Amino acid sequence: MRLKKLELIVQAFFCALVSNPQVRTTEQNGENSIFLICETKNKSKYYTCVMLLDLLLWSGYFFFFLLIIGLVKPWYLLWWEATQNRKRVIYLYGSVSLILLSLHTIFTYIL
């Protein structure tokens, strides 16, 4: 039940970016269901939401590319630190790319 509420909140957030959301409740087979309806009146807001998803995707790819470079030559990416090792590259750039790509996947699934 909590996951449904969280999913509805995230949908409402992105739907508010796109349009004016409307919440409708219906009763089906004795169960109450909540539906979120997005009507896009302004296409530029929709494209802004799509561009934000694309930005998450491409920045995730970019950090993954930097991770690959850092595994070959850690000094290229960690020049400001005293020790440049591959474990630190994986920790820093791998976690950022994993977070960005998983956020893109989650938001794409929800939308």
Q: What is the pLDDT of residues 19-37, one digit of tens each?
A: 555 555 555 555 555 555 5
Question: Can you tell me the distance from the alpha carbon of 9 to that of 4, in angstroms, rounded to the nearest whole number?
Answer: 9
| Average pLDDT for the chain | 75
pTM for this one? 0.59
The predicted pLDDT at position 108 comes to 82
Question: Can you tell me the distance from the alpha carbon of 53 to that of 60, in angstroms, rounded to the nearest whole number?
Answer: 11
The predicted pLDDT at position 78 comes to 86
Query: Which token pair is 89?
Result: 């590259």
Please determine, for residue 56, whether its predicted confidence score (pLDDT) is greater than 70. yes
Please determine, for residue 4, whether its predicted confidence score (pLDDT) is greater than 70. no
CB 34 within 8 A of CB 15: no
Question: Can you tell me the distance from the alpha carbon of 44 to that of 26, in angstroms, rounded to the nearest whole number?
Answer: 31
CB 52 within 8 A of CB 37: no
The predicted pLDDT at position 14 comes to 62
Q: Mean pLDDT throughout 74-94?
A: 88
State which amino acid sits at residue 85: N
Query: Which token pair is 77?
Result: 């990416």
The predicted pLDDT at position 93 comes to 93
Question: Can you tell me the distance from the alpha carbon of 46 to that of 71, in angstroms, rounded to the nearest whole number?
Answer: 38
